[in-house]
Amino acid sequence: MATRDEPGIMDFVLLDEITIERFMENLMIRFNAGFIYTYIGEVCISVNPYRTLNIYGQDYINQYKGREIFENPAHIFAIADSAHRSMKMHRQDSCIVISGESGSGKTEASKIIMKYIAAVTNLTGQQEVERVKNILIQSNIILETFGNAKTNRNDNSSRFGKYMDINFDFKGDPIGGRVINYLLEKSRVIQQQLGERNFHSFYQALGNTTHKEASNLGLNPDPQHYFYTRQGKSTITPADKSDFQATLSACKTLGFSATDIKTIWKIVAAILQLGNVTFSTNDDDSITVTNFHNNPVEQVSKLLEVDAKDLLTALSKRIIAANGELLQKAHTLSQAEVGRDALAKAIYDRLFTWIVSKVNEALIPYIENDKYKGGTVIGVLDIYGFEVFEQNSFEQFCINYCNEKLQQVFIDLVLRQEQEEYKKEGIAWQEVKYFNNQVICDLVEKPHQGVIAIMDEACLNVGKVNDEMLLEAMDSKLSNHKHYSSRQVKTLDKDLKHKTQFKILHYAGDVVYNIYGFLEKNKDTLFQDFKRLLYSSKNPIIRDMWPEGALDIKSTTKRPVTAGSAFKISMIALVKTLNSKMPYYVRCIKPNENKAPVGIDYKRVVHQVSYLGLLENVRVRRAGFAHRQPYNRYKMISGFTWPNYKCSDKEATRALIDENHFSNDVKYGVTKLFIRSPQTLFALEKMRAELIPAIVILLQKQWRGAICRAKFRKMKAAYFIIKFYRRHKIRTYLKSVLEAHRLTNNIYF
């Protein structure tokens, strides 16, 4: 409910009418008044304010610490506190799932949650607790530097999915953690859309070429000098220089050695130089590596500490093992360019994976210690939101599949929690109809028949199947699926290009994908020559990133898992992890495309409300008895329990309900009162609020009386002690007098 100073309604469940118009009206009223958080039961809706708000200080932390969700205005702190208290009180693992589209504030929400959890843990002064708190916060800085980028929708967009487990000991203090990353958008390394940037790390390196950590990398400070950073026409910002210092500081906090840090920036610089390697075709159709801009091949070999001749050979040729013999085959121009870009993407991907492992090394040390066994976990999931661009490729396909899985988990857990609570409390459950997106998940992941399976089958026929043939295979197997279409399947759908595009009807809306690049990105292949080259590096860190380079040239290796299958496996594991924990949700909304602190793009937000399933969530909560309160919340209103206790809280509440004629609007659970309509809840809360001042005065009177009585007892005890002390002093004095006069007669008194 809204307070006197709070506009609109704090919980959408309390709306008198569940329609998109009333939902949007309440959301806009609150956002325009500066209230960015609203609840749907225990789900927090967060609207990106695009400005700094003074609502995250220590006074707010104290306000929400140890409080129930409904006791204070809606805030993300309340969700974080509920997850933390549930974990401590019930010894049950919990997780906070943060979702929404790019630019909706997911990353900021995850940082706010982690800072709150760090702030409310026991302040025992233990160095280990403080160390872990600091690492949890500093790890975000490093992961953002190497995993985030500026897009046209968001200046700090996470281009990877992140799930972090924070481990706690039996006292509720953090003792470590673990980070799992999902599907880094490594294609961004080689290509960006106009107005977008590559990963932040590249611009931090270019913006600090005079810094001692980056001074010997041979970099030109102009991003337009490098092919991999000039495509979006973006420039270096003042923030890149300051963020570089923050990244270095965070690396040192997490225990990165000076050699580690130097190697990181060497690899970043090598990728930039690699993008400037070009090729030309000779008269005999062979290719030659064209060196320009200070000889980029030489620079790359120096930075990666590999032999320059070996690098030239790997870029222009590859070794093939056939029938026990080794053959050297020259690349065509297109093969050489694809190989160069594949190398750049693979190097950055391995670097990011290595950085995540280093972060985990700093977080994990004490978790396996017997001293901390029996601890609990809070998971925080910050993962990419649903994406629809002008050109949607393999990356958007995987990201939207991920969101389908998370939506499935969300609906399933919400309904399951409702059913379990009703069953536990002995209340009949009213079935709610909702869209089950399992059919879309099956379209993508079903064995032998899903899109991923069809792509994997096409990848087995290397050189025989191209992207157009892949689309034909999908059309053949999926033509009857109601959530799939293409121009070949539906000839009247002229919005789709022939033999180029296909459409999937996601729960969040229709998305048109361009088939070109799907096969190559799914295969995610890198010539073995490059792996052997990098394994030969004199830098032990780089060499350890490529262990498969140690394999013998003639040895046959198992076909690597495709990118699509690997992502599907990771999604299944993520869903299993989420299902094992008590979930809490933060649903983030992007109010407008202009990143303006005022104004809501009505149509844009309605679309987000739709695909996040928010209205559906409200209906689920309202299907039966939307409002649940423990019996002791209203016991002071009843004459049976206040001020004199005459019966149980449940019996007193039942008598109160009957007295006020609310019986048709409530059900009595084992431990809670279930209320159907907001009007009944408002009436009970109003009665409670009117009685609270009198109760406070009564409690103050009783407490003052208790203090005075305690003070009187202390004074009485003091007089009693003084009385006996005086008698003791008199006795002692008389004894000393008698001893002085050597009296022998006994004196009784």
Catalytic residues: 102-103, 107, 154, 157-158, 385, 387
d(CA 435, CA 613): 9
Is there a binding annotation on residue 450?
no
Beta strand 376-382 with 161-168 is antiparallel
Q: Angle CA(212)–CA(217)–CA(221) in degrees, nearest 5?
A: 85
d(CA 349, CA 341): 12
d(CA 536, CA 531): 9
Cα R_g (the chain), whole angstroms: 33
Is there a binding annotation on residue 590?
no
Is there a binding annotation on residue 548?
no
Is there a binding annotation on residue 106?
yes
In this structure, are residues 203 and 354 in contact, taking their beta carbons and an 8 Å threshold? no
| Residue 3 vs residues 7, 9, 71, 627: alpha-carbon distances, Å | 8, 9, 10, 18
Question: Count H helices, E strands: the chain?
Answer: 24, 19
Is there a binding annotation on residue 100?
yes
- Burial status of residue 130 (CB atoms within 10 A of its CB: 0-12, 13-18, 19 or more): middle
d(CA 166, CA 117): 10
In this structure, are residues 272 and 226 in contact, taking their beta carbons and an 8 Å threshold? yes
Q: Number of C-alpha atoms within 13 angstroms, CB side, residue 519? A: 19
Location of structure tokens 């459409």: 503
In this structure, are residues 570 and 182 in contact, taking their beta carbons and an 8 Å threshold? yes
Going by C-alpha positions, the residue among 159, 170, 162 that lies closest to residue 139 is: 162
d(CA 285, CA 357): 44
Beta strand 94-99 with 582-589 is parallel
Supply 90's token pair. 């019930």
Supply 370's token pair. 């017997």
In this structure, are residues 128 and 179 in contact, taking their beta carbons and an 8 Å threshold? no
Give residue 534's Cα distance to chain centre. Answer: 33
d(CA 247, CA 219): 19
Is there a binding annotation on residue 103?
yes
Tally of residues, the chain: 749
Is there a binding annotation on residue 101?
yes
- Binding-site positions for ATP read 100-107
- Binding-site positions read 100-107
